[in-house]
Every structure is written in structure tokens, then in C-alpha cells.
Structure 1
């Protein structure tokens, strides 16, 4: 069975929902900018992880530009694990892309081309006019474009590089970022129609795998992981303000805290012989795991 990951719901109202009102309002405003259905995600990376395993079927094929952003490549690894055929082509080579499209025609229902609107390493852009021509010539071609670095600074209302140079094609999904020119946080997925947005937003029989606002993601990443060799009681630590979780692993105590400074001070007071103290910040991957824990 295919895995699907979703980080938010679409902008269509669904009655009762755990989504916060600010996210729903943001989705409405972004939908006005793009004139298409959107889903707000805690980050563009999590948007890729939500969208690609859902919209790409097992019998589809994927063609990846060699320079596509690392966050897209992370999602591609999930597709590979699901048995999806993945091909990599030379950067911005439309000749190579068309050759692959011809070769894969009839073998796969859909062929997805994964690219960036503006490439972060080279600073160049996708050949959008040529891609539009390929869409016209090859009905099985679908586009998934990460325009994170094109969003905000160009296009009508800042809709980005891709949408300033082409209309939203019926076979294109766009991923953008609010972290760059908009100087805030979060990501956004833009869909050609509401049906596809709903498909990404709802997992299987409506079961949500992950759902969280930008504020929730920020709070999770801000947490600290504290480890130390101590005789302190884990039950006592759990009762301290700012402690999210505390576990013991032999001589080591591991604490997850929203207020690391306060917890460390309490640890030193509780155990003068405390040793091997280490404090690390939670990673984005850990935050995503936390958001998905209940549905795992």
C-alpha cells in the first residue's frame, strides 16, 4: 500500500477541523494571489513530502532535473522506496527530457518532471516556454515545480517566477516558500484544481497523518534536547516547568524542553554531581516526527 503524507488541509471548508483560523485565512489570501486552490504547509520541504508521494502513483514515472532542490530530492527517495521509476537528466536539457518522454510513453500513465523555477545553486531558471511546448506535445507529461526562490520578488502580487512567465497549466503543481522574499515562515502548494488539492489534503479515508500550523512547527523546532549523566528522578523532572518529556536510559537522562536554560539550572540544583551535559536544538525532521506521532 502506498504511503501518503499530508501536512495541512485544502482551502475548502470541511466542517470541524483542527486547522487554526490563521492558516485558513492565509490559504484564502494565497488562493487569491495564485487564483488556484492552495494548501499551506509548515515548510516547503514538508510540502514536497506531503504532495509527491500522494500525486505520483506507483505506475507513474518521474524525471528529475539534476539540479532540483535537495528538499525535492528527499521526497524522490520516498518515491523510489515505493517502487516508482525515477530517471535523472542533465540540468535544463529539454532535449534529454523529450527523449525520456518518448521512451516512457505507453509504459507509464503519467510522467512527472521535477524542476525548480529558480535554481538556488546556479541562479538560473527553468526553460518555461519550452516546458509549455512539451506539455502541448506530450499529454502524459506533468510538472512539479519548486518556485521557492522565485516567490515574492516577481510576478503579479509576488506570485513568483513561474507564474509570471506562464499560466497555471492543468497538469502542473507548484510549490513555493514564504520564508524568502515574504520574510516569514511556511510553504504553500498550488494545485490546478480543487480535486487534486483535496486528494493531497485527505489521507485514505480522511485520516490525517500530520497537521500543524507554522507556529506549531516553529515551537517544535525551538525545543531543546538535553542529555546528562545524573541520578535525578525522571518523575521529578517531568513535573518541572518547560519540560515536555523526560526518559532515563541507564545512567543518562534525556529531557525535551521548551525552556532549556531553566531546566539545566534545575538539573544542577537537583544533582550537584551531574556530568556529561549536552544540549542540542531539535531538528526539522524531529519536529515532523512529533507532528506525525499520533497518527503513526
Structure 2
């Protein structure tokens, strides 16, 4: 895989050419940025920017305009900054404007045809598709226990997607008997070449048994069957070694810069 060419393709397909990630969301291209305005419970933020070559004052003016725009909507929002974005000091400028960086992750990409997709769940684990409210409840329960965060936004997003356009999301929960122990989802953007793997998490007592690996392989098989060429993951330090072994390549970093009006 030509890393530079694939990263350029990812920027073009999934950032500059971004599509709304769910019902009610709108993607706008204005003032050198591509941004999404969603509902209060949806994702709001800047996906891509073309700021290289601008004077410093002009870069700061673009940042200020995004703050003004989302404040006008009454929304917290995220500027999704990638390691190759320019100018090189954009992160510093975002912090100076009042943004708070969250933990850095690694953008990892693999070609579906190059992956080892034979990983099966360990004995006693069933992978169950999430297709209704009961399944979403199971998935949200795992997410909250695995990550220790409130998952009301995830619940809202999944229910809306399953109701409006179920072909754009694949969600799955891993069960040990009746107990949900791991879950994950995959976002499928119509016409794109990349399928996005998101939210893979396992409750602490069940980690290290190969469930996460099986969930990646399960979603990868579905993506390949639906004609997607690449898989994309924003990988944490915990998931990156597993993805390395499966055949994913690290192409750059990504850091969410969050702005919450005071």
C-alpha cells in the first residue's frame, strides 16, 4: 500500500468530501473548512481545513469564525486535527483560541483484501448483530463499562441511523451467554472507498481473549462483501498493537480539539 497516496485519498473521500454521518446532520463547505452541524446529541465539528499559505492572522480568523458559528447554534464542537494538517502550529493556535485537546490517536488503514479475516470469537462468545432498540441497549451498556463514559450520544446516533438508513451502519455486540462483554460498529459512507471502524471496546474482565480481534475481522468481512476497499480506524494505544498484527498501517495521528462555550 502506498501510504502517501492512500492518505491523500482518505483526505479527499472522508474529509474534504465528507457526507453527513446521520439523519439531521448537514455538511457545509465554507471559509476554507469542511464542517458538520448536527443535532445537540449528534457530532458537531470541523472535519477538514485548507489553511496552508494563509497569513497567521487569517488562520486565527478562520478559527474564530468556527467558534462564532457553532456558538450561534449553541453547540459544543470538535476540530478534528490530523498530524499532517497545516499550518504546523494549528494545534497551538486552537489551544490559544480556547480549545482543549483530547488524547491523541493513530489513523490506521488497511486494504480489505490484504487482511487476515479468519479470526473467530473465542469459545462461548456469540457475535450478535444490533438491529433494534434492545440491541442498542446492550451495546451502550458495553460502551459505558468499557470506556467509563456516558453513551447517550451513541444511543441517539445508532437509533437514528437504524431507523432512517440501516445500510449505513453495522453494529455488533459480543455476548457471553446473556452478558454483553464487547461491542463495535462500522460506518459505511455511500460511494466512499473507506469503511470506518468505531467504538470497539471490551469490558475489563474479558480483555485479552481475542474478542476485539474477532470484531475487527467480522466487520472487515462485511465491508469487503459490500465493495469497500479500505478500512479506517482511529486507534488508541491499546488497540494499535492488535491492528498492527492484523495488517493495518499507521499513516498519521489524529487529535480531537474540543471547544465548549464557557
What TM-score results when the alignment is normalised by the length of structure 1? Answer: 0.28
Q: Which has the larger radius of gyration?
A: 1
Structure possessing the higher relative contact order (Cα contacts under 8 Å, 6 or more residues apart): 2
TM-score of the two chains, using structure 2 as the length reference: 0.31
Q: By percentage of residues, which structure has more strand?
A: 2
